[in-house]
Amino acid sequence: MKRILVGSLFAFMLLILAACGGDDQAADEGSNNDEAQDWEPEESIELVAPAGAGGGWDTTARMAAQTLTEEGIIEQDIGVVNQPGAGGAVGWAHIANQDDSPYDLFVSSSPLLLVPLNGQSDYNYEDFTPIANIIAEYATFAVRDDAEWEDLNDLFDDMKENPSEITVVGTSSPGSMDHIQFVRFAREAGVDITQINYVSDPDAGGVTQLLNGSADVFSTGIGQVLEQIRSGDIRPLAITSEERLEGEVLSEIPTAIEQGIDETFVNWRGIFGTGDMDQAAVDYYEEKFKELSDSEAFAEVRDNYSWDEMFMGSEEYLEFLEEENEVFKEILDELDLSDE
């Protein structure tokens, strides 16, 4: 009987010790989780604009860094570095060489999908960590004020008959953003997109080509031509958003959808990190860029540059990128510009 009692007591003590050990382990795991959630940068952060000064990536990077600092959202120094070349590929290669660094971020947009698809970069969105999308900018297709086309349908009707006789200019290379955003709408309208005469002017001379008659249509971001629209030098045929934008000039530009062309295009612009960035760092930056997006200070920045709010967190952003990549690949395949 004593043996039974001793054995039972011993087994009971083992259960208590195991329970205590489990509690300690759970406490340790909870502590580790808290530490992961409380990750903060201890070094300066480098935010790369994979292009030269003055463009969309550069402006986005600098205004985001400035607002994050001035509003006290991130206390560590944020340095903006320009890494221009090859449509963004030079900057992407620089980030790819930083391994899993939580201190190296970059700004990007649609070319991160398009440039690799057409074979001009060894890195694509899958090689990096999407952290947060922070803005949207929409495109417009502008013509001279004295052009014969009154709306997008007039233009596309002529292009259906003689697509190669109408010259479309953009600042990006064939197969990249300014080209593909125009092609998406022409394709929906029934134009043979393989015959479109698209020319590239990387020195941002699209307005000059339009005004001197070298080109007939300028495919570009609305923010790049807002002043010329205000002055009456050029006329926008459409905005690529789902609904008309707000603003004194913007609200007067009809959407393609209003004109019976069921297509939209958004030039999303967001923040990416290294490919193997630790999840704790991703969570930290996602929270900080959400705070940036929600701030009144950044709302003023968006207004100043005719940007729209478009926040996506890391997981939603990745799903969006996967869907966009499929659409772009289909178009590039049709144009015989895909390298895959």
Q: pLDDT tens digit string along 15-68?
A: 444 444 545 554 455 444 444 458 999 999 999 999 999 889 999 999 999 999
Q: pLDDT tens digit string along 173-203?
A: 899 999 999 999 999 999 999 999 999 987 7
- Enumerate residues 6+ apart whose C-beta is below 8 A from 193: 163, 183, 186, 187, 331, 334, 335
Mean pLDDT of 294-303: 97
> Which residues are registered as beta bridge partners of 68?
none
Q: pLDDT tens digit string along 310-332?
A: 999 999 999 999 999 999 999 99
98 pLDDT above the threshold of 50: yes
Residue 8 is predicted with a pLDDT of: 46
Residue 204 is predicted with a pLDDT of: 67
The answer to whether 239 touches 151, Cβ cutoff 8 Å, is no
Give the helix/strand (H/E) hosting 197.
Answer: strand 197-200
Q: How confident is the model at residue 205 (pLDDT cuts 50, 70, 90)?
A: confident
Handedness of CA 322, 325, 330, 336 (dihedral sign): negative
C-alpha separations of 146 from 8, 62, 174, 232, 340 in Å: 98, 37, 27, 10, 42
Q: pLDDT tens digit string along 105-163?
A: 999 999 999 999 999 999 999 999 999 999 999 999 999 999 999 999 999 999 999 99
Higher pLDDT, 27 or 286: 286
Query: Tell me, what DSSP letter sits at residue 152?
Result: H
Look up the pTM and report it.
Answer: 0.84
Where are the chain's structural domains? 45-137+267-334, 138-266
Mean pLDDT of 229-242: 96
Residues 168, 115: Cα–Cα separation, whole Å: 20
Q: How confident is the model at residue 339 (pLDDT cuts 50, 70, 90)?
A: confident
Residue 201 is predicted with a pLDDT of: 87
Residue 281 is predicted with a pLDDT of: 98
Average pLDDT over the chain reads: 90
Mean pLDDT of 84-111: 96
Query: Which residue is it, tokens 């996506």?
Result: 312
> Which residues are registered as beta bridge partners of 140?
220, 239
Residue 11 is predicted with a pLDDT of: 45
Q: How confident is the model at residue 340 (pLDDT cuts 50, 70, 90)?
A: low
Q: Is 45-137+267-334 in CATH node 3.40.50.2020?
A: no
Residue 231 is predicted with a pLDDT of: 95
Query: Which residue is it, tokens 């990416």?
Result: 272
Quick one: fold of 138-266? D-Maltodextrin-Binding Protein; domain 2 (3.40.190)
Of the candidates 114, 52, 104, 50, the residue with the CA atom closest to the CA atom of residue 78: 104
Of the candidates 153, 154, 110, the residue with the CA atom closest to the CA atom of residue 258: 153
79 pLDDT above the threshold of 90: yes
